[in-house]
């Protein structure tokens, strides 16, 4: 009995010691939890999906309180939760653009002629790790459905073709599927990401898509036509082309030159199918629009209502910015309205597409010419964060009869064509000719430099992109220029223009061999080209922003700039948009690949408009506009084919022509596909991924 008492006393004493120890430990190791964290975690839905980029809702709540995440960082919660969290933090919340999962493969394992069986495996990651995941396509979807299983919202299912299907109404953009896909077939996407991205070698792109200057997802809109979903086909087209009705009639169709169907019979009638889908929308007068990002509160002015200007405005509006187009003539459309005969492009077709652009939220003012009715300074003082110059080339001026007087849309910037045409008296009209730079132009540049020298111009510099050995001038001409104090820079290009109020002040020049830059003063710049360069004109930001900080930038900067207007002169700078990937290593204005006169095809101007919109957007947020190194170019190494086997020949559908009675005085020559012809032609598409094809019987039955 005494032994039991002793044991009880010992256990009680031990418990007492433990209790005292725990009490002291609770005091020593007490962890304080911020009540804000608890309150925010209570507001969060508790899905722990990881879509915020953090391991669960508790971590997200801590990040919000620490200022490392925004009140609307939860991809699952709605705006009411974001506002409640913002209230806890005592801040305001801005609209957040939603992400959705986007499958990037167009060909499923179910249809493959040759199949690699993953014995004992039902997980894409395991198949990829153990066997490389090869079937027909080396980067294609493995089709085992791991993305569907990890989706916490049941937004993904595997279709009968073995490819993931995303329910956009359920998808929250949490990113669980993207993290688990071992081949990057399924990724997060948004309006902004789709507009500003260029195709890379990591993606499953088709030959026709890569050949299209606008980068339209051709195989997808043709697939939608074959399924009978014509509205969805139009929406896919407008993701990269706001002029489907126009381009369906006048495109030179470089995509069809790359169509793999030509290895068997004839290319698919890609452009005629685009026209069919666009005409379907127009005839029903039921406008189909692509998605648009939330409003950003930023405003942009676009100078020029031609194809490029309107395309820039369309894509910039889709990025959430407020856009106004200023056009010098009394109507929008540029050369499309002036230079194409009506039986190829009736005016009502052009008007339909332009109206669709305006319905995207684009405003337009006609009879407003930059340099005459409006100026760079006046637009920036109105509150525009950026001004984009898309005034067109010499042929555009010819079409509107504006040849009598030199045009100067950008302060101090002239065309050499105007200088030569105007003759010796033109320099007398220039206010300040103390610093003159002439860029390009071969022997004509030296002729203009001599002329400026004779008329009292000072500090004259000629810039050639060529080296001295390859320059278009002789040694005797070089010596003569030197004797007249004319400076020549070889192997150089212009990166940036700088100005103050309505005057040019200087240029940033890059040495193309060493990549070193220098700033040179300039009151006047003469360009040896048939057009003014495409330029994005902004007020220099007071702080350099990083790519990770765009959400931190708000209207405050604009307000700060306005407050300085009474004390400081308006300072502006101008740079060109990023170049198309084929020429991304080129530097400077009018480098190789840049447009010198005007666009040879409207579809190229549309592509340039999207790149301009992307550049504007990135500049507004302080994001670098340099392209990824793996952007696709003609030099990229891609999996491809040069012949096909076991594909049955199917004749191409012929475009029907209108009778003389149907044409009338202003009618079209081509009548357009009927629905049955369009469906037949769409079924001729091989549904290319990279090297993927279905059985002939399945494709052509």
Of 627 and 174, the structure prediction assigns the larger pLDDT to 627
* Cross-strand bridge partners of residue 370: 374
Stretch 327-331: mean pLDDT: 93
- Share the mean pLDDT of the chain: 82
- For a pLDDT cut of 70, what percent of the chain falls above it? 78
Fold observed for domain 205-291+640-701: Fumarate Reductase Iron-sulfur Protein; Chain B, domain 2 (1.10.1060)
- Classify residue 183 as left (phi > 0), alpha (psi -120 to 50) or beta: alpha
Query: Quick one: pLDDT at residue 605?
Result: 94
Q: Which residues contact 121 (CB under 8 A, 6 or more apart)?
A: 127, 130, 144
pLDDT (tens digit, 9 = 90+) per residue, 42-51? 777 666 666 6
Using pLDDT thresholds of 50, 70 and 90, give the confidence band for residue 14: low
Lowest-pLDDT choice from 20-29, 314-323, 489-498, 680-689: 20-29
**Residue 381 pLDDT more than 80?**
yes
Q: Which residues contact 419 (CB under 8 A, 6 or more apart)?
A: 406, 426, 448, 451, 526
Counting Cβ atoms within 10 Å, is residue 154 exposed (0-12), middle (13-18) or buried (19+)? exposed
Task: Give me the phi and psi of 690, to 5 degrees please.
Answer: -105, -55
Query: Quick one: pLDDT at residue 77?
Result: 64
Lowest-pLDDT choice from 7-16, 58-67, 367-376: 7-16
Query: Quick one: pLDDT at residue 227?
Result: 93
d(CA 351, CA 358): 10
**Residue 113 pLDDT more than 80?**
no
Q: Quick check: helix, strand or coil at residue 508?
A: strand
Query: Quick one: pLDDT at residue 694?
Result: 55
Using pLDDT thresholds of 50, 70 and 90, give the confidence band for residue 609: very high
Give the burial string for 339-356 (b: 16+ CB within 10 Å, else e): ebeeeebbeebbebbbeb
Stretch 365-384: mean pLDDT: 93
Q: Quick check: helix, strand or coil at residue 530?
A: coil
Say which residue the tokens 């499309």 belong to: 336
Using pLDDT thresholds of 50, 70 and 90, give the confidence band for residue 549: very low
Of 651 and 64, the structure prediction assigns the larger pLDDT to 651
User: What are the C-alpha distances in Å from 11 to residues 8, 16, 21, 25?
Assistant: 5, 9, 15, 21
**Residue 510 pLDDT more than 90?**
yes
Stretch 228-252: mean pLDDT: 96
> Within a 10 A sphere around the Cβ of 197, how many other Cβ atoms?
15
Q: Where are the alpha helices (DSSP H) in 54-212?
A: 57-65, 79-89, 124-131, 146-150, 176-180, 191-196, 207-211
Say if residues 278 and 244 touch (Cβ distance below 8 Å). yes
**Residue 555 pLDDT more than 50?**
no
**Residue 506 pLDDT more than 90?**
yes
d(CA 132, CA 60): 35
d(CA 668, CA 339): 16
Task: Give me the phi and psi of 413, to 5 degrees please.
Answer: -110, 125
Using pLDDT thresholds of 50, 70 and 90, give the confidence band for residue 209: very high
Query: Quick one: pLDDT at residue 170?
Result: 84
Using pLDDT thresholds of 50, 70 and 90, give the confidence band for residue 542: low
pLDDT (tens digit, 9 = 90+) per residue, 625-656? 888 888 998 888 887 788 887 788 999 999 99
Say if residues 190 and 106 touch (Cβ distance below 8 Å). no
Q: Quick check: helix, strand or coil at residue 492?
A: strand
Q: Outline which parts of the chain fall under CATH 1.10.15.40.
A: 37-96
Q: What angle do CA 11, 16, 22 make, to 5 degrees?
A: 125
Of 305 and 564, the structure prediction assigns the larger pLDDT to 305
Of 317 and 454, the structure prediction assigns the larger pLDDT to 317
Stretch 63-88: mean pLDDT: 70
Lowest-pLDDT choice from 101-105, 184-188, 559-563, 613-617: 559-563
Query: Quick one: pLDDT at residue 79?
Result: 64
The verdict on domain 98-190 having CATH code 3.30.70.20 is: yes
- For a pLDDT cut of 90, what percent of the chain falls above it? 43
Q: Outline which parts of the chain fall under CATH 3.30.70.20.
A: 98-190
Q: Outline which parts of the chain fall under CATH 1.10.1060.
A: 205-291+640-701
Query: Quick one: pLDDT at residue 6?
Result: 65
Query: CATH: 1.10.1740.10, 3.40.50.300, 1.10.15.40, 3.40.50.1100. Which one for 37-96?
Result: 1.10.15.40
User: What are the C-alpha distances in Å from 424 to residues 448, 449, 453?
Assistant: 9, 12, 11
Q: Where are the alpha helices (DSSP H) in 151-269?
A: 176-180, 191-196, 207-211, 218-227, 230-238, 244-250, 254-257
Query: Quick one: pLDDT at residue 560?
Result: 41
Stretch 402-406: mean pLDDT: 67
Stretch 597-603: mean pLDDT: 83
Query: Quick one: pLDDT at residue 558?
Result: 44
CA 417 to chain centre: 32
d(CA 189, CA 175): 10
């Amino acid at each position: 009995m005494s032994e039991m008492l002793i044991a009880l006393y010992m256990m009680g004493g031990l418990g007492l010691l433990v209790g005292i120890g725990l009490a002291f430990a609770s005091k020593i190791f007490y962890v304080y939890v911020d009540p804000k964290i608890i309150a925010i975690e209570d507001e969060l839905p508790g899905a722990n999906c990881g879509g915020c980029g953090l391991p669960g809702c508790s971590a997200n709540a801590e990040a919000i309180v620490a200022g490392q995440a925004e009140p609307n960082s939860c991809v699952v919660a709605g705006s009411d939760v974001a506002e409640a969290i913002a209230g806890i933090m005592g801040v305001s919340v801005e609209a957040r653009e939603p992400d959705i999962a986007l499958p990037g493969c167009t060909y499923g394992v179910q249809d493959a002629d040759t199949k690699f069986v993953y014995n004992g495996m039902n997980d894409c990651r395991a198949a990829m790790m153990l066997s490389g995941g090869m079937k027909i396509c080396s980067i294609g979807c493995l089709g085992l459905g791991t993305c569907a299983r990890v989706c916490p919202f049941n937004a993904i299912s595997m279709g009968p073709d073995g490819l993931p299907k995303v329910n956009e109404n359920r998808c929250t953009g949490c990113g669980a599927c993207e993290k688990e896909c071992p081949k990057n077939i399924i990724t997060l996407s948004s309006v902004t990401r789709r507009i500003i991205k260029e195709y890379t070698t990591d993606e499953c792109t088709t030959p026709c898509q890569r050949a299209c200057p606008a980068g339209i997802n051709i195989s997808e809109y043709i697939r939608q036509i074959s399924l009978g979903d014509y509205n969805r086909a139009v929406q896919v087209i407008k993701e990269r082309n706001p002029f489907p009705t126009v381009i369906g009639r006048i495109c030179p169709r470089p995509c069809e030159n790359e169509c793999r169907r030509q290895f068997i019979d004839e290319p698919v009638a890609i452009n005629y199918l685009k026209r069919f889908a666009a005409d379907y929308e127009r005839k029903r007068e039921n406008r189909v629009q692509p998605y648009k990002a939330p409003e950003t509160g930023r405003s942009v002015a676009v100078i020029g209502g031609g194809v490029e200007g309107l395309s820039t405005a369309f894509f910039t509006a889709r990025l959430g910015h407020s856009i106004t187009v200023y056009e010098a003539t009394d109507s929008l459309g540029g050369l499309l309205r002036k230079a194409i005969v009506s039986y190829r492009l009736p005016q009502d077709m052009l008007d339909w597409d332009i109206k669709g652009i305006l319905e995207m939220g684009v405003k337009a003012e006609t009879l407003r010419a930059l340099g005459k009715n409006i100026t760079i300074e006046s637009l920036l003082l109105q509150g525009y964060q950026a001004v984009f110059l898309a005034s067109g080339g010499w042929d555009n001026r010819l079409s509107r009869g504006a040849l009598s007087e030199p045009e100067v849309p950008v302060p101090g910037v002239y065309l050499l064509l105007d200088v030569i045409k105007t003759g010796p008296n033109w320099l007398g009209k220039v206010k300040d000719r103390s610093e003159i730079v002439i860029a390009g132009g071969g022997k004509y540049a030296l002729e203009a430099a001599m002329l400026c020298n004779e008329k009292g111009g000072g500090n004259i510099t000629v810039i050639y992109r060529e080296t001295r050995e390859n320059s278009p001038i002789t040694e005797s001409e070089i010596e003569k220029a030197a004797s007249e104090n004319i400076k020549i820079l070889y192997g150089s290009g212009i990166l940036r223009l700088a100005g103050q109020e309505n005057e040019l002040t200087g240029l940033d020049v890059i040495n193309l061999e060493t990549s070193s830059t220098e700033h040179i003063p300039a009151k006047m710049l003469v360009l040896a080209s048939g057009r003014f360069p495409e330029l994005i004109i902004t007020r220099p930001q007071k702080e350099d922003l990083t790519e990770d900080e765009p959400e931190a930038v708000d209207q405050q900067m604009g307000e700060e700039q306005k407050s300085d207007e009474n004390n400081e002169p308006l300072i502006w700078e101008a740079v060109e948009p990023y170049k198309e990937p084929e020429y991304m290593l080129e530097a400077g204005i009018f480098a190789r690949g840049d447009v010198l006169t005007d666009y040879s095809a409207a579809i190229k101007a549309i592509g340039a408009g999207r790149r301009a919109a992307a550049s504007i957007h990135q500049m507004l947020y302080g994001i670098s506009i340099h392209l990824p190194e793996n952007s696709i170019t003609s030099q990229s190494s891609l999996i491809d084919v040069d012949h096909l086997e076991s594909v049955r020949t199917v004749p191409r559908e012929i475009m029907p022509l209108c009778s003389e009675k149907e044409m009338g005085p202003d009618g079209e020559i081509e009548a357009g596909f009927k629905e049955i012809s369009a469906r037949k032609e769409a079924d001729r598409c091989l549904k290319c991924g990279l090297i993927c094809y279905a059985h002939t019987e399945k494709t052509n039955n």
